[in-house]
Structure 1
Amino acid sequence: MPNYDLIAILGPTASGKTPFAAALAAELHTEIISADSRQIYRGMDLGTGKDLADYTVNGRQIPYHLIDIADPGYKYNVFEYQRDFLKAYEAMKQRGLLPIVCGGTGLYLESVLKGYRLMPVPENTELRERLSDQSLEELTETLRQYKTLHNSTDVDTVKRAIRAIEIEEYYKQHPVQEREFPALNSLIIGVDIDRELRRAKITRRLKQRLDEGMVDEVRRLMAEGIAPEDLIYYGLEYKFLTLYATDKITYEEMFTELETAIHQFAKRQMTWFRGMERRGFTIEWINASLPLEEKIAVVKQKIREV
């Protein structure tokens, strides 16, 4: 068994990290733990880009964890992610597997790769009321002033920004050393995709998912009782599709604004990953355009070098 405890595959949206991770898992006879803050929700499939078909490699289903584990409308958090990650990770290690964590949610990845000791954060009604009149831009600027860690890549609605500030304020007042998390020796692989190729893939994928019924998915979720504001909370696709489905914007406005938002999101993801490197993480970058076989060969060579 290799000396690594974990392999992490990270990259921006549309970089092809999931099919790469699945092919690697098939080669290493292991399983995948997702690190995506929105794919945990059941029924939110097209909007979160689950692409579950990617987990079938040469006719074999690759087991995955932490996808479809919460109901839509629920506000899952990084404390819960750490808990659920550890449960899946330890079960896999007991079976002699080398787990692969794959995703693009920087905070989720960093919280397990660095072993932050996090606690659940209660609501702060007074703080929420004080921030309620501020714009997203003002809230984002406030969030930048904190020195501790928060997933600013995913903050694209007012509610998410207020929650992020609420979390930062809580940790300012409370020590963060109350929960043990194991130190993991991780091989971190980044999928580096050319900016223009990434933009083209994002646009193509957005059109494809709209053709596949992404608007209908949002309408179904609302018909099942999910409040529009709860869907908007999740940002990106769910924010703009809900605005369109509730007649707040036109289809053309929805497409243009959503396309721009996804491009900006991918850029923020890369900014986060570069920040991880500045914070001491070693990320081995692999060109997204390489054939799968070559990507897998690079990882296997890295494992042998330990």
Structure 2
Amino acid sequence: MKSKKTLIVYVALLLMTVYLMVVLFTRSKESQTVLSRDFSDIENSGELNIVTDYNSVGYHVSGDTIAGFQYELIKALERDWKLKVNVFLENSLEENLSGLQQGKYDVVARNIPVNTQLREQFNFTESINLNKQVLVQRKLAFNDSVAPIRQHLDLAKKTIHVHKDSPVILRLQNLSHEIGDTIFIVENARYETEQLVMMVAGGDIDFTVCDEVVAKQLSEQLPEIDVETDISFTQMESWAVRKDSPVLLDSLNGWLARFLKSREFQKTYKRYY
């Protein structure tokens, strides 16, 4: 009799466990489900959610004024599309793309080095800009008479500090394979790329990697740094949207085709590049 009661208790506990597992699995799947949101949904809502990163070229605050290449493109898009654009700032590209996949953002508007791996996961607009990555190091006069590195082979066994989840990590890993030796990569979650450049200038670290345009601007303020060694080939840079937003992609490409030929864009480009 006692064993029968014990069996009933075990069965009840087992059924309860199975029920809880089903409930948790269902809720987990629901939380991962992203509602499709294409251009018609954006038009109906009257709002477009765009994320960009904060830096001296793309988006920054100067006194009471917001400025930047990406900022001016976003404002032009808001004007032309007559939509309210909600701008979110997040420097981590991984967080940008994760938020895009989850439906938090409709567009990632920043300099994204487009590669095959990213194209498998996201759609990208036509090229907005061309850019490349450069090695940031100290000039001979500020580096105990040690000359700047010019050959990739000389990066063997060197330590390069980059911002956590930086898109340049993949390039450095590939470069390590190309030279057949180890390049040590240190991901820094605390400091952004521009701060790492300043740390190179101050002698706190020896190397980091930065977009060429940003690097050249910073070199005007930091005479200690050398930015003449390329790390990557010239790459097309585009905005990203989800795979399930084909009409949004087509609309953005149509707008860019017109806007990139305008005098307004030419003035904006010259102002920042």
Give the TM-score, by structure 2 length: 0.34
Greater C-alpha radius of gyration: 2
Per residue, is there more helix in 1 or in 2?
1
Give the TM-score, by structure 1 length: 0.31
